Amino acid sequence: MSVIGAYLRLARVGWVLMREGVVSALPTEGMPPLARTAHTLAGLFERRRASKEDRSDRLARAIERLGPSYVKMGQFLATRPDVVGAEIAVDLSALQDRMATFPREAAVATVEGSLGRPLDDLYVNFGDPIAAASIAQVHPATVRDATGERKVAVKVIRPGVRQRFAHDLEAMYAAARLQERMLPNTRRLKPVEVTRTLEQTTKVEMDLRLEAAALSELGENTASDPGFRVPKVDWERTGRDVVTMEWIDGIKMSDVEGLRAAGHDLDRLADTLIQSFLRHTLRDGFFHADMHQGNLFVDPEGVIVAVDMGIVGRLGKKERRFLAEILYGFITRDYQRVADVHFEAGYVPSHHDTASFAQAIRAIGEPIHGQPAETISMAKLLTLLFEVTELFDMETRTELVMLQKTMVVVEGVSRTLNPRFNMWKASEGVVGDWIRDNLGPKRLLTDLRDGAHAALRLAEAAPEIAAKAEKLSQDITSMAEKGLRFDAETAEAIGRSEARHSRSGRLALWIIAATLVYIAWKLA
């Protein structure tokens, strides 16, 4: 029945997207003939007002109708232009959490249930909600401790959101599997894996203790960084469904005129923002992956304060070197090195020719060197790089796509502060220092140290590895003599699963067909 329910919910999603004119507003370039026909038919079902709205407005209205789970999915897909395309990603990036607030009484019950204490024992006062998002809403409050009274922000999970997301996720998985089955050329984008990533990131975001941990980690990493910080966490008043943190008195970065009127140096803020992001990425391998203007404040001292750490990104040492070498290769016009890095990291299949790939990279890099530095857009560079890697069958790397998207967003925020923002000049010091420390002589010492540690761990595990190897050898010998066999219980379970899947799939398709016929009949 869950399969049938997933297909019914998927049918509702399709219907809403058609009615709000989202499907008919999609670009048709590159669509197969059958998809173009469906695109044309979708226009017959849209509301009259939808045809007069921009595509982004239609998309926002449709997602609002579908509910909080789809708002979160839209925001997640905004970080994946490789999946939805650059134009749709831009539309989705404008999607804001403007959900209706839920009653204060429900929030109080959630806080008391999560923390196991009466509200009066936790807060001196607890105000009405001031902002509501798809997963949680924020309340102003006051706490009293040994230092006196202080104002805090309390983020409370939305009641029932986990159950709603779990149900909607079934439809998302169904759509991903249909895409893999019906559009084989999109399999390299790994739609099921993308959905699994959405599931994991949203589950993490729904546990506010993990957001608090991310704030704490980034706070420790940036303790000595100039011009950037995050709110402090009140761990005594933090649980799975509630996080209490320092109240930030500041001006949102979206209020450029307000920042200017307050006397802040906008050019310096733009430089600090990109330098901070690159420092977090290259030095720490841990970055805020949702740094849009609504999540960035400037306090009275001119320090940038980043909030809402529900979405974070991590890069391993290999990925950080990959990023730095690509940037360095473009700066020095060493396109062969950029190509070699892609192949060494295994991002481009080895059957392609590195010289041909280097030639394609040159087509991106050379036009950049003919422009003034302040006109070179990281967004454009990354878009072109993605188009080239697509030609060479580069599979999706979730961590790199999230990094690229965040870098584009940060650059965009910096350019709203300073229209002549020079991305390369602002980032030169941070990137240069990291390259000198990690791609020069120091790298050899670090690699030797890491290699010694790895060898020591291998030596410690040698007895266990030998025992497992001996058992594997015995199993292979037995398999060679007797063949590979399933026991009766396993074979029976496989048969039941296949039969159930086949019946459910056929029944779901008949229900969807009947639903569409009914809708068409009602509209006739």
pLDDT bin (cut points 50, 70, 90) of residue 270 is very high
pLDDT bin (cut points 50, 70, 90) of residue 352 is confident
Decide if pLDDT at 50 tops 60: no
Q: Which two tokens stand for residue 486?
A: 């399933």
pLDDT per position as a tens digit, 465-523:
777 777 777 777 776 666 656 556 666 666 666 555 555 555 555 665 565 555 555 55
Q: Quote the pTM value.
A: 0.70
Residue 376 near residue 366 (C-beta atoms within 8 A): no
d(CA 299, CA 520): 56
Q: How many domains does the chain have?
A: 3
Residue 22: inside a domain = yes
Identity of the residue numbered 505: G
Same domain, residue pair 182 and 307: no
Decide if pLDDT at 27 tops 80: no
The pLDDT, as a whole number, for residue 462 is 76
d(CA 39, CA 28): 8
Q: What is the mean pLDDT of the chain?
A: 78
Same domain, residue pair 295 and 199: no
Decide if pLDDT at 266 tops 90: yes
- Looking at residues 279-304, what average pLDDT do you find? 89
Known catalytic residues? 290
In Å, what is the CA distance from 361 to each residue of 333, 354, 405? 10, 10, 20
Residue 157 near residue 242 (C-beta atoms within 8 A): yes
Q: Which two tokens stand for residue 315?
A: 């890069």
d(CA 221, CA 244): 20
pLDDT per position as a tens digit, 62-101:
777 777 777 777 777 776 665 666 667 666 766 655 677 8
Decide if pLDDT at 122 tops 90: yes
Residue 171 near residue 10 (C-beta atoms within 8 A): yes
Same domain, residue pair 315 and 404: yes
pLDDT per position as a tens digit, 129-144:
998 877 889 999 999 9
Helix (H, G, I), strand (E, B) or coil at 84: helix
Same domain, residue pair 404 and 509: no
pLDDT per position as a tens digit, 162-221:
888 888 888 888 888 877 777 776 676 677 877 787 787 778 788 999 999 999 999 999
The pLDDT, as a whole number, for residue 314 is 87
The pLDDT, as a whole number, for residue 51 is 53
Same domain, residue pair 304 and 402: yes
Residue 69 near residue 39 (C-beta atoms within 8 A): no
d(CA 27, CA 453): 53
d(CA 56, CA 22): 9
Residue 7: inside a domain = yes
The pLDDT, as a whole number, for residue 1 is 46
Residue 373: inside a domain = yes
Could you list the residue range(s) of the whole structural domain that residue 13 is in? Answer: 3-98+163-204
The pLDDT, as a whole number, for residue 74 is 76
Same domain, residue pair 431 and 491: no
Residue 464: inside a domain = no
Same domain, residue pair 65 and 198: yes
Sign of CA dihedral 59, 55, 92, 255: negative
Identity of the residue numbered 195: T
Sequence length of the chain is 524
Helix (H, G, I), strand (E, B) or coil at 142: strand
